[in-house]
Amino acid sequence: MTYSENAINILTAKTYKGIGRAWITKNLKGNESVISIVSLLNKNLKEEEPIIVEAFERDKVKLKETLKSLNGFADGFVAIGDTNFPPYRGDVKNSEQPVFLFYRGDLSLLSATNKNIAVIGLLNPDHNTEIVEQKIVSELVKNGITIVSGLALGCDTIAHKQTLHSNGKTVAILPSPLNNILPAANEELANEIVKKNGLLITEYYEDAKSKIELGGRYQERDRLQALYSNGIILSASYAKNDQGNDSGSRLAMGYALNYSIPRFVIYDHVSDINNKKYDLNRQLIEEDRRIIVINQNNLGAAINIILSKDNTQKCQLNLFN
């Protein structure tokens, strides 16, 4: 597994109490010396005693030992300041900007010049949803678009598999380290993604220590789906309601809205009107007139908007009406 001295310094800094993405983004540009990093850490000290350079170096050694568990599973990791650290899309506040990523596969798929579209949705789509999503993903791939999703069961799996079936490139964003693919049922799919020149990424190098922590990681994964995409398409999803139905798709679409990343929903006013699995789609259409509605009848026009370099303005067009 490859990484730069800068990357291991950034990763080590984040292990200290009170040091998160916001602090790193505000204080570090990348490639600072250990002496400079330690000095900055001590200005924000929440440890009981001041950090010394020797202690920082020892913590780096310990961290390198921990990272050996990823050998054979990760190609490497990158951090802010590295020349190949991927740029995010949209307007993102400091606390939500990624500061390092572990990866396996073709990291260039996250480059600024690559056209990425996230396709997300619920875990239990019906057959019609699957057919429509497959058709849309196939058309996106045909037009050179890389498909981003979260490797979850259901709509995510459909998006990844259809991309591979269409000989396209896909990026899977994980809530777990690369030596523990989640869900385990999609480990073979993850391997196939890499084999076919795709990419796996994650912000984690160790397993979550609790269900609460893992739940938070899923939310963090949802944010990455938005900020590494030029647009995000919701296939189908429940809205939050008193039956307890909810989904990460709602969070991902919310992140995209906050980041000013174009949002699209798949919906047919005739066939989907009484389908509870499209509740979130209907809700978003009602809440935001800038959202583009995609269905089998307007697919060609919708694809043209997605491909446009200025689709944020063209989202004023409501193809649903």
* Mean pLDDT score across all residues of the chain: 92
Q: Are residues 195 and 295 in the same domain?
A: yes
Are β-strands 116-120 and 100-105 bridged in parallel, bridged antiparallel, or unpaired?
Answer: unpaired
CATH code, domain carrying 261 = 3.40.50.450
pLDDT (0 to 100) of residue 317 = 42
pLDDT (0 to 100) of residue 38 = 95
With respect to residue 141, please indicate whether it lies within any of the assigned structural domains: yes
Q: What percent of the chain has pLDDT over 90?
A: 84
Q: Are residues 55 and 136 in the same domain?
A: no
Q: Are residues 181 and 296 in the same domain?
A: yes
With respect to residue 280, please indicate whether it lies within any of the assigned structural domains: yes
End residue of a domain, out of 33, 58, 77? 77
Q: Are residues 139 and 243 in the same domain?
A: yes
With respect to residue 99, please indicate whether it lies within any of the assigned structural domains: no
With respect to residue 95, please indicate whether it lies within any of the assigned structural domains: no
pLDDT (0 to 100) of residue 246 = 59
With respect to residue 67, please indicate whether it lies within any of the assigned structural domains: yes
Q: What percent of the chain has pLDDT over 70?
A: 93
pLDDT (0 to 100) of residue 244 = 54
The pLDDT tens digits of the residues spanning 276-311 come to 999 999 999 999 989 999 998 898 898 888 887 654
pLDDT (0 to 100) of residue 319 = 44
Q: Is the pLDDT of residue 160 over 90?
A: yes
Confidence label for 315 from pLDDT (cuts 50, 70 and 90): very low
The pLDDT tens digits of the residues spanning 226-269 come to 999 999 999 999 987 655 565 789 999 999 999 999 999 999 99
With respect to residue 93, please indicate whether it lies within any of the assigned structural domains: no
Domain count, the chain: 2
Provide the domain limits for residue 246: 108-314
Q: Are 257 and 288 in contact (CB under 8 A)?
A: yes
pLDDT (0 to 100) of residue 61 = 97
Range with the poorest average pLDDT among 45-49, 94-98, 270-274:
45-49
Q: Is the pLDDT of residue 121 over 80?
A: yes
Question: Once rounded to an integer, what is the mean pLDDT over residues 77-102?
Answer: 96
Q: Are residues 66 and 205 in the same domain?
A: no
Q: Is the pLDDT of residue 192 over 80?
A: yes
With respect to residue 84, please indicate whether it lies within any of the assigned structural domains: no
pLDDT (0 to 100) of residue 310 = 56
pLDDT (0 to 100) of residue 288 = 93
Question: Once rounded to an integer, what is the mean pLDDT over residues 127-133?
Answer: 95
The pLDDT tens digits of the residues spanning 22-46 come to 999 999 999 999 999 999 999 877 6
pTM: 0.92
pLDDT (0 to 100) of residue 36 = 97
With respect to residue 126, please indicate whether it lies within any of the assigned structural domains: yes
